[in-house]
Amino acid sequence: MTLTGINKGTVVRVLQIRHDKETSQRLAELGLHLGSLVQVLSRAGQDPLLLDVKGARLALSRHLADGLVVRALGEDPTTQGKRRRLRRRRAQGA
């Protein structure tokens, strides 16, 4: 999931940066690099997203946020498939 799909108040960890080298370097200078913890503070309107990065507020365009692959903290990637199968079974009435 990319940062643009995260709800307000959620804390995430950056797993991948899908931008060119120059943009990735600039994001790293702002504190957004692999492993960074980020909290979405505001999603008002279309642009930008307001983030908390290491205690600093950062406004990031949706274009840039869409290139950041993240995972919500506390979410175990090994159980995601199990939860999907369980939801499907419940929807089918099994």
**For the whole model, what pTM was predicted?**
0.74
Give dist(CA 32, CA 14) in Å, integer: 8
Q: Tell me: the pLDDT tens digits for 22-36? A: 999 999 999 999 999
Domain that holds residue 10: 3-92
Q: Residue 9, Cβ neighbours under 10 Å: how many?
A: 10
Cα separation, 69 vs 87, in Å, equals: 24
pLDDT in tens, 29-73: 999 999 999 999 988 777 799 999 999 999 999 999 999 999 998
CATH code, 53: 2.30.30.90
Number of domains in the chain: 1
pLDDT, averaged across the chain: 85
Note whether 75 and 5 are within 8 A (CB). Answer: no
The token pair at 25 is 């370097």
